[in-house]
Chains A and B, each alone.
Chain A
């Protein structure tokens, strides 16, 4: 469903350049949760932005359902759902209006968007918030609204960028439930995070990014065998020291 092949991105600096993503390749299938893990600055967000077509890669490509981002960024965007921890809300719109607006941005028929909003609001327990002004919501409620927003166009692939950042225990559990729900729906999910303990509980397969390069990839059992470490945290500490 999602194929990333030799994706590379270099940014210019005052002196020289920095390679944020270096020949990165991975695939994510339907109903699979892929953890793209790495410390801050490893290149996770840059990778997501290249998949979304917000950044043009220097080389390589991303392909969603057979459509390459470079060839048809609009078609690719309409097949991707994107949720980031830094997502905000429109304070003067009601939650329903905001969801319908994103439905419009994704070209969803307003009536279908209305029905989907109701359904997703039920799943995420925000039905009573639909007609509340978004500016009056708490952090946890906003996060749930954002998660619903990412699914309004029923995309086959979901990209989640640091979804648990800044959330309390209840908020984190909501994210876990949401990802489980996505898996049940048959979505291909990419979760970018540096919270390795959470990733261990959530993801089916992992890609460990360090300085833009994919250093390890596989299921937890495969990674344990190849690295000799029990947990992802230990693997990462070894990686950082090497």
Chain B
């Protein structure tokens, strides 16, 4: 009857293969449940069907009112004599403003439609709001008649009409005075001759870049709110939460299925709204106001679709994390209303022309994606800022989801000791051998902005004070920044998660042969990284521009002032220890129990590559492929050996060798092409390096053979 009792570690490894088809079916159930709910249908369909036609009508009314300047203002006078006098003034070419003024206001001349009041005076006609303005002319037809102009107080159209008419009559007076002056003083020189000219091309579609991010924020939130509440807090209210938690599906998977359902509903709601908005504007002939011309902006629509995914992904995660905490619909709504209001503030930033997607703005949640949306739609995207915005947003979404996974379902079993917000930050009572993937996601979410701020700040500081601060001090600052970010953030996360440090960082001794293999891999692998860089450059991925090459050469020259030992300590030893503890230590141990080895290696290597791309405000794309390749090699060794230590050796040898080659580049010219430019390395060098890599890999493999199956996991 009794089955073989598996250890905790074996059990986790056994269950980590969760079939995709099962996850898809869980997602389908969540989606079905949400879509069938009539409240979802109201948000999804009724809003766009009703709101936009109404908005469009309101906009039409507004535009009709504001387009009076081109169609003409209505002016009322009391008698035919006054009408003839006013027509004569307005028809007099001297009442037309000079060319420079006309051109400065769009070369449009306001028209006036003069009518005679059928009943009462001009003043009374204005008071009854029958006309825009009224004019009373005393002594029409005499040498100096008096014109009194009436406008409706507080009515912008009426006041604008009065202003324009006053100006026209003033120009008449000035032009008359000018003629008199020229007659009296033939040589009278005007103090200045004014001309105006336009340069550049007219900007089109600015309204699109301003309005659409706002619509995206509002509509993705609107779309995500109801399913987020229903699929989390609603699960508790229905009494289905405990049954779901009692089932053998890790709660993270249940939550991921719910997350994708919320994303899909949010996506479709926003899409339905955009379709509603564009269709209504198109049908009402108002599309040109949004896009700058009469055509359908297909490219912009494609860009908006891409942005929709980002917005929906972010808001769905954020809302799920909040609703997972709520115990009822009411409580969830109470949490979400402030979030909706808060979300509008950064969304309004897209209306401010001064705000740019750079510096800290690129990593401030929501502000960054609103600004990115604005830039994408106006066609002026800064790639570095865009990547920082996308990466940080994904990190925030992952963090929000990991918080949601931590909270989701906890209430099903804690009725006797209800959780508070503070419980999220409490250290667990029992120590664990490694962090959970959710904790790793939270750590990454914290690391991205901290890394961005620290590296950006350091770069600015060094640019500012490079003359004052010595090269040695600059190097030490670099090392300190690395320790502060990749060292302290995971350490803090391990402390808060009460993770045992040795097992979390995977610090285990391995056989001496494995270390020897690591040295050989380090000695040979830099050539692989170099060749990957050259190939990437040749196919147009990254590569260095002339400016970058000259900057790098200046940097190398500067570094040559420092001791090679210091260079090795800063650029080889510190990253080898700190980055390895972070990527092949903390992150690797967090992922390896939940994922297959291949996925663990791929994810940690990609993250390793990505962090090497994002350095301060620069986007070093050319570093992605070589760094990821190194991440793959070290990841494989970390997996085989079960330890972070051989990876540290590879990293140290690789970085150290590169730095020494750069340091002594002039003395190494005799080695041939490739050491001093971006060309392929000499074939014999590649052959030697290839042999080293093969031998190193073989030694690592041999020294760890059998270890993967017999290795006892840490308790």
Closest to B247 in A: A105
Closest to B30 in A: A101
A66, B3: Cβ atoms under 8 Å? yes
- Cα distance A6–B130 in the bound complex, in angstroms: 91
A12, B417: Cβ atoms under 8 Å? yes
Q: How far is the CB of A190 from chain B (nearest CB, A)?
A: 13
Q: Which of A20, A66, A91, A101 contacts B2 (CB 8 A)?
A: A66
B239, A104: Cβ atoms under 8 Å? no
- Cα distance A106–B254 in the bound complex, in angstroms: 12
Closest to A84 in B: B242
- Cα distance A97–B3 in the bound complex, in angstroms: 33
Q: Which of B1-45 contact A (CB under 8 A)?
A: 1-8, 11, 14-15, 22, 25-26, 29, 32-33, 36-37
A65, B1: Cβ atoms under 8 Å? yes
Is A55 an interface residue when CB atoms closer than 8 A count as contact?
Answer: yes
A88, B240: Cβ atoms under 8 Å? yes
Q: How far is the CB of B362 from chain A (nearest CB, A)?
A: 41
Is B245 an interface residue when CB atoms closer than 8 A count as contact?
Answer: yes
- Cα distance A82–B242 in the bound complex, in angstroms: 9
A102, B243: Cβ atoms under 8 Å? yes
Known: A87-B239, A88-B240, A97-B32. A75 touches B26 (CB 8 A): no
Is A141 an interface residue when CB atoms closer than 8 A count as contact?
Answer: no
Interface segment out of the listed A46-54, A173-181, A191-199: A46-54
B36, A71: Cβ atoms under 8 Å? no
- Cα distance A104–B7 in the bound complex, in angstroms: 25
Interface readout for A69-98 with B: 1 if CB under 8 Å, 0 if not? 011111111101010101111111100010
B15, A74: Cβ atoms under 8 Å? yes
Is B431 an interface residue when CB atoms closer than 8 A count as contact?
Answer: no
Tell me the count of chain B residues lying within 8 A, CB to CB, of chain A. 37
- With a CB–CB cut-off of 8 A, which chain B residues contact A92? 32-33, 36-37
Q: Which of A1, A76, A87, A149 contacts B1 (CB 8 A)?
A: A1
Is A202 an interface residue when CB atoms closer than 8 A count as contact?
Answer: no
Q: Which of A72, A75, A82, A149 has the most CB of B within 10 A?
A: A72
B245, A54: Cβ atoms under 8 Å? yes
Q: Which of A76, A102, A104 has the most CB of B within 10 A?
A: A104
B248, A78: Cβ atoms under 8 Å? yes
Q: Which of A56, A101, A105, A110 contacts B248 (CB 8 A)?
A: A105
- With a CB–CB cut-off of 8 A, which chain A residues contact B32? 92-93, 97
Is B413 an interface residue when CB atoms closer than 8 A count as contact?
Answer: yes
Is B244 an interface residue when CB atoms closer than 8 A count as contact?
Answer: yes
Q: Which of B26, B240, B416 contacts A46 (CB 8 A)?
A: B416
B6, A80: Cβ atoms under 8 Å? no
Q: Which of A1, A92, A110 has the most CB of B within 10 A?
A: A92
Q: Which of B37, B240, B248, B416 contacts A107 (CB 8 A)?
A: B248
Q: How far is the CB of B141 from chain A (nearest CB, A)?
A: 81
Q: How far is the CB of B254 from chain A (nearest CB, A)?
A: 8
Closest to A77 in B: B248
Known: A1-B1, A71-B5, A74-B11. A105 touches B238 (CB 8 A): no
B240, A87: Cβ atoms under 8 Å? yes
B29, A101: Cβ atoms under 8 Å? yes
- Cα distance A77–B245 in the bound complex, in angstroms: 9
Is B249 an interface residue when CB atoms closer than 8 A count as contact?
Answer: yes
A74, B240: Cβ atoms under 8 Å? no
- Cα distance A90–B1 in the bound complex, in angstroms: 36
Is B218 an interface residue when CB atoms closer than 8 A count as contact?
Answer: no
Secondary structure class of chain A's binding surface, majority of residues: mixed
A20, B25: Cβ atoms under 8 Å? no
- Cα distance A77–B11 in the bound complex, in angstroms: 13
Interface readout for A38-68 with B: 1 if CB under 8 Å, 0 if not? 0000000010010010111000000001111
Closest to A76 in B: B248
Is B246 an interface residue when CB atoms closer than 8 A count as contact?
Answer: yes
- With a CB–CB cut-off of 8 A, which chain B residues contact A87? 239-240, 242-243
Is B250 an interface residue when CB atoms closer than 8 A count as contact?
Answer: yes
- Cα distance A228–B33 in the bound complex, in angstroms: 55
- Cα distance A104–B26 in the bound complex, in angstroms: 7
Is B286 an interface residue when CB atoms closer than 8 A count as contact?
Answer: no
Q: How far is the CB of A157 from chain B (nearest CB, A)?
A: 12
- With a CB–CB cut-off of 8 A, which chain A residues contact B8? 70-72
- With a CB–CB cut-off of 8 A, which chain A residues contact B247? 77, 102, 105-106
Q: Which of B36, B243, B250 has the most CB of A within 10 A?
A: B243
- With a CB–CB cut-off of 8 A, which chain A residues contact B250? 74
- With a CB–CB cut-off of 8 A, which chain B residues contact A91? 238
Interface readout for A104-133 with B: 1 if CB under 8 Å, 0 if not? 111100100000000000000000000000
Interface readout for B510-554 with A: 1 if CB under 8 Å, 0 if not? 000000000000000000000000000000000000000000000
- With a CB–CB cut-off of 8 A, which chain A residues contact B5? 66-68, 71
- With a CB–CB cut-off of 8 A, which chain A residues contact B7? 71
Q: Which of A20, A72, A82, A105 contacts B249 (CB 8 A)?
A: A105
- With a CB–CB cut-off of 8 A, which chain A residues contact B254? 105
Known: A92-B36, A92-B37, A104-B26. A149 touches B243 (CB 8 A): yes
Known: A12-B417, A65-B1. A90 touches B240 (CB 8 A): yes
A110, B33: Cβ atoms under 8 Å? no
- With a CB–CB cut-off of 8 A, which chain B residues contact A77? 246-248
Is B360 an interface residue when CB atoms closer than 8 A count as contact?
Answer: no
Is B446 an interface residue when CB atoms closer than 8 A count as contact?
Answer: no
B412, A104: Cβ atoms under 8 Å? no
- Cα distance A52–B413 in the bound complex, in angstroms: 11
B248, A88: Cβ atoms under 8 Å? no
- Cα distance A128–B570 in the bound complex, in angstroms: 74
Known: A78-B248, A92-B37. A67 touches B25 (CB 8 A): no
Q: How far is the CB of B1 from chain A (nearest CB, A)?
A: 7
- Cα distance A102–B1 in the bound complex, in angstroms: 26
B243, A84: Cβ atoms under 8 Å? yes
- Cα distance A149–B245 in the bound complex, in angstroms: 14
- Cα distance A100–B218 in the bound complex, in angstroms: 36
- Cα distance A91–B32 in the bound complex, in angstroms: 11
Which residues of B are at the interface with A, using a C-beta cutoff of 8 A? 1-8, 11, 14-15, 22, 25-26, 29, 32-33, 36-37, 238-240, 242-250, 254, 412-413, 416-417, 430
Q: List 9 A-B contacts (CB under 8 A).
A: A54-B245, A66-B3, A73-B248, A84-B243, A86-B239, A87-B242, A90-B240, A105-B254, A106-B248
Q: What 3 pairs between A and B have smallest CB-CB spacing? A: A88-B239, A66-B2, A72-B11
